[in-house]
């Protein structure tokens, strides 16, 4: 870490700041480093920040304030400081807000944990003989006796445990100068989170096939040479991608380097954690929004100190300041969940590639259905392509059959075609499992009045309320607003005319229970699996063959391996095919191929392959046909040609400006001002302002500009220069979104 010799330092503070502020350090402090975490006076408050360089020397020392505190904690590593600047500049956000994410939880810095230790007060010249002469209660005498007989300080926990004394008594003895109390800072030590080769039980090792071994060898060479290679680990569903990168994790740990593994969502972690423990005989440190503050504090400190071996988490884990980073794995790299859409907007996958480069670390992007951008980068030679074309178990890929709902419609009131019903019955007779997939939560996506046609909407958003019959609520999945289900129309007042339109997973569960009353079914969605324990128990039930029919949303589409699952039924393959945005077809293809890949992962005979039935009204749709033919690369090539012809990513650049306000007239007036000041650049096209497709969201009206440019254009500079000219009223929010994923 770079040392600073001067008494003036430049500090980046937490908050809406891009520029640093100059401060003085106290004369008695002789050495300080870049990355040191400090507390600085700013206006009338204290703000935490980090030292990023020597001071600018542009302000007289007499006008500079002195730092309040320099925390006794390891400095933030230089690669993390580089990430702060790059992420902020790329995404047009404040560096100080990115720093806030890096220094979260703040409690780890400003509220360190201490152990209390005690020794007797030498100034009172106490001896064992003189203790009896003092009028002390028995517990106090025992404390003094223990301290006098000890040749070193005694921990508070030992006194409480051995003598049975309370904290109150010890505090009182300190106040009366009978004993002296010292505080020793506790630094978490997760050194057990590291392993050596002989710590792994070899019986937990799975034999790798030639494709897996080839991938492991190439990644390991990169780790051992500290190379910043980016690998695309591209394997069909069930090809053993996780087991493959586990072997590279082992190599990294043997080199005493730290590993960061990013998963798209919490739902994947319970089963993943179990597989990790079976492999390594220790648990990784898990980081996500549901982890307690105390645990987050411990993980953060141990990552910074270098004692945390493996950290696994959602996208926010990317911001943890890991000091000895050797490997990053982005699992299911194509997932939209890696793009943060609120507050500081960024794509964790793309930022992970940059962070690995700055840390001299290797990075692995793993997916059965890579994003089009990653696929393109691989084709252009930026990423090293590692393929796993076969399932690790040796099983064949499933047969995918299109079920034309125009030819084989479900019975009235049902959503499962008779052909699929017969196939489910066959699997039940064979004691094999079925998965029914529908990417819709709740009972029905819409409730409408038969008399007047009124559709029940959210009061905060321009969207329908979703019916959740199990809890008797209509709920908005955007803002959380809910109200009880009523059979009286709020518009025309007619009773018993409210109708549920369309299916959700609750409705499919109801149909399954009616059709197969003897079968044990379970529904996996974010509504039913509200915590990790519920999800873990559900997965165990499925793996132990205690469940016959699984009904699920995208929660079950990836990351899970159910050995007895032989049939997948996709209830509505047409959902999302016409999403109206750049990535609609790509996302639909990825999701449907992922869920199809759950079927028959452990079949041993080619005559007993897994089966997928995809119910659709559009058997000629290119996406549906590509899935049925298991022809991913051809689909991707056609998509790339389409993108190239339109100069869309990855060939061109996209950005958005999103304006929002509670006051529609003020918003429209401001949007006109922004439009009037729009720059004119070669190879830059500006569309808008237009109402967002979901123009009223969470109580605010929204307008959008879409900016399209060639790759040669510095689109960030265009946007910053443009928005700087605009005087923004306080009642309007302006957000810049680089490389937008959502166009809603």
Read off the CATH number of the domain in which 659 is found.
3.30.70.600
514 and 633 inside one domain: yes
Strands 339-340 and 285-287: unpaired
Burial of 90 (0-12, 13-18, 19+ CB in 10 A): middle
Q: Are residues 374 and 259 in the same domain?
A: yes
Residues 263, 362 share a domain: yes
Residue 168 lies in a domain: yes
Place of tokens 């003092």: 134
Tokens of 53: 């360089």
- Is residue 416 included in any domain, yes or no? yes
Q: Are residues 376 and 470 in the same domain?
A: no
546/532 Cα distance (integer angstroms) = 19
Answer yes or no: is 646 within a domain. Answer: no
pLDDT at residue 198, as a whole number: 43
Residues 6+ apart with CB under 8 A from 312: 260, 261, 262, 263, 269, 272, 273, 276, 284, 285, 286, 287
471 within some domain: yes
Question: What whole-number distance in Å separates Cα of residue 311 and Cα of residue 316?
Answer: 12
Judgement on whether residues 613 and 587 belong to the same structural domain of the protein = yes
Rg (CA), the chain: 30
Q: Are residues 256 and 350 in the same domain?
A: yes
The string of pLDDT tens digits covering residues 455-506 is: 999 999 989 999 999 899 999 988 899 999 999 999 999 998 999 999 999 9
Q: 84, 105, 126: which is the final residue of a domain?
A: 105
Q: Output the pLDDT for position 208.
A: 92
- 491 and 550 within one domain: no
Residue 689, preceding bond cis, omega within 30 degrees? yes
Average pLDDT per run of 10 along the chain, which is 744 residues long?
A: 80 96 87 92 94 90 90 92 97 96 86 79 57 67 82 84 87 84 73 54 71 97 95 94 95 94 80 88 88 87 90 94 96 94 94 97 96 95 96 89 95 94 96 94 92 92 92 92 92 91 93 95 88 84 93 84 92 78 84 89 83 93 87 89 92 94 94 91 89 87 93 93 92 94 76
Same domain, 149 and 205: no
Q: Are residues 316 and 219 in the same domain?
A: yes
The pLDDT of residue 144 = 83
The owner of tokens 């007895």 is: 564
Residue span of the structural domain in which 139 resides? 114-185
Predicted local confidence at residue 422, as pLDDT:
96
Please tell me the predicted confidence (pLDDT) of residue 353: 98
Sequence-separated (6 or more) residues with CB below 8 Å from residue 68: 38, 39, 40, 41, 46
Parallel, antiparallel, or unpaired: how do β-strands 521-524 and 549-552 relate? Answer: parallel
Task: Select from 164, 135, 130, 166 the least CA-distant residue to 145.
Answer: 130
Relative to beta strand 549-552, strand 433-437 is: parallel
* Other beta carbons less than 10 A from residue 616's beta carbon: 23
Claim to verify: residue 180 and residue 210 sit in the same structural domain: no
- For residue 64, the domain's CATH number is 3.40.1440.60
Given 616, 640, 664, the domain boundary residue is: 640
The answer to the question of residue 64 being in a domain is yes
The sign of the dihedral angle between the CA atoms of 284, 288, 294, 296 is positive
Query: Would residue 393 count as lying in a domain?
Result: no
**Widest CA span in the chain:** 101
Q: How many domains does the chain have?
A: 6
Q: Which of 87, 105, 123 is the last residue of a domain?
A: 105
Q: Do residues 179 and 143 lie in contact, with contact meaning Cβ atoms separated by under 8 Å?
A: yes
Examine the domain organization and report whether 419 and 566 are in the same domain: yes
DSSP string, 174-208: HHTTSEEEEEEE-----GGGS--GGGS-GGGPPPP
**Same structural domain, 218 and 322:** yes
Residue 314 lies in a domain: yes
Residues in Cβ contact with 635 at an 8 Å cutoff, skipping those fewer than 6 apart: 589, 622, 623, 626
Beta bridge partners of 258: 325
**Residue with the two structure tokens 């009523």:** 486
Q: What is the CATH number of the domain that holds 575?
A: 3.40.50.300
Within a domain: 256: yes
Whether the CB-CB separation of 472 and 484 falls below 8 Å is answered with yes
């Amino acid at each position: 870490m770079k040392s600073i010799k001067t008494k003036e330092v430049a500090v980046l503070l937490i908050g809406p700041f891009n520029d640093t502020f100059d401060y003085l350090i106290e004369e008695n402090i002789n050495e300080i480093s870049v990355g040191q975490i400090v507390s600085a006076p700013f206006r009338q408050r204290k703000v935490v920040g980090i030292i990023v360089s020597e001071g600018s020397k542009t302000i007289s020392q007499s006008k500079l304030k002195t730092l309040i505190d320099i925390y006794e904690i390891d400095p933030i590593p230089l690669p993390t400081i580089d990430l702060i600047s790059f992420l902020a500049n790329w995404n047009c956000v404040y560096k100080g807000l990115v720093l806030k994410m890096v220094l979260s939880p703040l409690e780890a810095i400003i509220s360190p944990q201490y152990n209390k230790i005690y020794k007797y007060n030498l100034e009172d010249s106490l001896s064992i003989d003189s203790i009896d002469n003092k009028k002390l209660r028995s517990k106090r005498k025992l404390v003094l006796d223990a301290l006098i007989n000890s040749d070193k300080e005694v921990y508070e926990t030992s006194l409480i445990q051995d003598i049975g004394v309370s904290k109150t008594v010890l505090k009182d003895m300190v106040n009366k100068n009978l004993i002296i109390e010292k505080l020793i800072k506790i630094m978490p030590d997760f050194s057990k989170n590291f392993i050596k080769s002989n710590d792994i039980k070899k019986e937990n090792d799975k034999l790798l096939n030639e494709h897996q071994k080839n991938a492991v060898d190439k990644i390991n060479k990169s780790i051992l040479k500290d190379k910043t290679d980016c690998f695309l680990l591209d394997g069909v569903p069930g090809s053993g991608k996780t087991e493959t990168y586990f072997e590279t994790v082992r190599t990294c740990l043997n080199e005493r380097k730290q590993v960061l593994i990013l998963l798209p969502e919490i739902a994947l972690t319970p089963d993943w954690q179990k597989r990790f423990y079976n492999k390594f005989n220790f648990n990784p440190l898990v980081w996500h929004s549901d982890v307690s503050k105390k645990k987050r504090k411990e993980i953060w400190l141990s990552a910074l100190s270098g004692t945390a071996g493996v950290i696994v988490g959602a996208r926010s884990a990317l911001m943890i300041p890991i000091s000895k980073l050797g490997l990053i794995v982005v699992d299911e790299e194509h997932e939209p969940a890696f793009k943060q859409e609120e507050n500081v907007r960024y794509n964790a996958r793309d930022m992970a590639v940059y962070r690995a480069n700055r840390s001299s670390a290797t990075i692995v992007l793993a997916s059965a259905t890579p994003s089009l951008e990653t696929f393109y980068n691989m084709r252009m030679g930026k990423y090293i392509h590692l393929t796993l074309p076969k399932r690790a178990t040796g099983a064949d890929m499933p047969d995918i059959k299109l079920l034309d709902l125009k030819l084989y419609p479900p019975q009235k009131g049902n959503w499962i075609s008779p052909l699929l019903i017969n196939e489910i019955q066959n699997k039940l007779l064979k004691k094999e499992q079925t998965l029914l997939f529908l990417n819709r939560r709740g009972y029905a996506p819409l409730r409408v009045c038969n008399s007047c046609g009124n559709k029940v909407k959210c009061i905060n958003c321009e969207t329908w309320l979703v019916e959740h019959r199990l809890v008797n609520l209509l709920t908005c999945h955007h803002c959380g607003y809910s109200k009880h289900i009523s059979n009286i129309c709020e518009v025309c007042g007619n009773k018993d005319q409210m109708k549920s339109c369309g299916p959700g997973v609750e409705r499919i569960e109801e149909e399954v229970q009616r059709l197969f009353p003897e079968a044990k079914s379970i529904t996996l969605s974010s509504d039913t699996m509200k915590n990790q324990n519920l999800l873990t128990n559900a997965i165990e039930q499925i793996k132990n063959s205690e469940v016959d029919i699984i009904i699920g949303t995208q929660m079950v589409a990836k990351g899970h391996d159910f050995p007895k699952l032989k049939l997948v039924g996709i209830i509505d393959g047409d959902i999302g095919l016409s999403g109206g945005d750049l990535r609609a077809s790509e996302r639909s293809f990825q999701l449907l191929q992922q869920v199809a890949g759950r079927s028959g992962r452990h079949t041993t005979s080619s005559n007993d392959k897994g089966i997928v039935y995809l119910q659709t009204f559009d058997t000629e749709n290119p996406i549906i046909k590509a899935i049925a033919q298991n022809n991913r690369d051809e689909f991707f090539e056609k998509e790339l040609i389409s993108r190239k012809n339109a100069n869309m990513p990855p060939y061109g650049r996209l950005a958005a400006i999103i304006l929002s306000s509670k006051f529609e007239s003020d918003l429209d007036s401001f949007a006109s001002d922004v439009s009037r000041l729009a720059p004119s650049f070669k190879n830059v096209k500006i569309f808008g302002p237009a109402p967002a497709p979901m123009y009223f969201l969470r109580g605010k009206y929204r307008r959008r500009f879409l900016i399209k440019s060639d790759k040669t254009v510095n689109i960030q500079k265009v946007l910053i220069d443009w928005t700087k000219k605009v005087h923004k009223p306080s009642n309007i929010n302006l957000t810049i979104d680089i490389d937008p994923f959502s166009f809603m």
